[in-house]
């Protein structure tokens, strides 16, 4: 079952600079996908369009076969908060909040409150990503890998169908990078969450179910790697 479809996506900037050119892609539920490409190839722009953080110049984006309306601000906010989880190269944890409260932030935004059940669910999620014993700690008391695990938990807390990750291990050493990717793969298969990950590391990309390479704004390769 497809969760995301991109049809004829193009993106132009000032002076008619074409960043994306006629992108057609479908992502299935519960798959682990990597997007690779050189700097400036358009891969981050593509991820931002999928995440509704940027609007295409031309083309259509579908979530669950429903056309995304970029002019409907409330609808876009609902998609971002309920259907998509974001993990970036920098974790963006709030330094004054504990690990537990950082993960619960999307819940507070969505529900305006945190129930006892949701707090217990969050603790289970922190256990899943391997940092349950750090739930009362502040971000500055964690290692880089631990902070990224917390960021992954935060992205998952509202049960999104899709996790979008832009160079999520770019600041981590090779051993920690491998552990984070193993964690994300396990979550993908256990929770049936679709992962779309941008990475410059071909060794990591090759471990995905699918590899999409972007070159000069076009799809250069689209390989089923299962």
- CA 130, chain centre distance (Å): 19
pTM above 0.75, yes or no: yes
Give residue 108's pLDDT: 80
Burial of 164 (0-12, 13-18, 19+ CB in 10 A): buried
- Work out the pLDDT band at 212, boundaries 50, 70, 90: very high
Tokens for 176, please give them.
């920690």
* CB-CB neighbours of 12 under 10 Å: 15
CB 89 within 8 A of CB 165: no
Four-CA torsion 126, 132, 135, 140, nearest 10 degrees: -90
Q: What CA–CA distance (Å, rounded) separates 154 from 62?
A: 24
Bridge partners, residue 211, by sequence: 34, 223
**H or E element at residue 126:** helix 116-128
Tens-digit pLDDT profile for residues 83-140: 898 887 667 789 899 999 999 988 887 777 788 888 888 998 898 888 888 889 998 9
133 contacts: CB under 8 Å, gap ≥ 6: none
């Amino acid at each position: 079952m497809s969760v995301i479809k991109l049809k004829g996506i193009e993106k132009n900037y000032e002076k008619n600079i074409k960043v994306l050119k006629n992108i057609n892609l479908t992502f299935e539920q519960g798959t682990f996908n990597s997007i690779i490409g050189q700097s400036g190839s358009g891969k981050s722009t593509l991820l931002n369009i999928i995440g509704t953080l940027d609007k295409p110049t031309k083309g259509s984006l579908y979530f669950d076969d429903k056309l995304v309306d970029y002019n409907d601000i409330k609808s876009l906010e609902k998609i971002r908060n309920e259907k998509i989880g974001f993990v970036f190269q920098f974790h963006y944890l709030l330094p004054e909040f504990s690990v537990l409260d950082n993960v619960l932030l999307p819940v507070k935004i969505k529900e305006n409150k945190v129930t006892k059940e949701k707090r217990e669910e969050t603790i289970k999620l922190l256990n899943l990503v391997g940092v349950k014993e750090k739930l009362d700690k502040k971000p500055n008391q964690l290692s880089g890998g631990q902070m990224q695990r917390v960021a992954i938990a935060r992205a998952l807390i509202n049960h999104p169908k899709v996790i979008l990750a832009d160079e999520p291990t770019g600041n981590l050493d090779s051993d920690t990078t491998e552990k984070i990717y193993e964690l994300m793969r396990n979550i993908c298969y256990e929770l049936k969450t679709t992962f779309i990950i941008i990475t410059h590391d071909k060794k990591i990309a090759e471990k995905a179910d699918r590899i999409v390479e972007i070159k000069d704004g076009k799809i250069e390769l689209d390989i089923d790697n299962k």
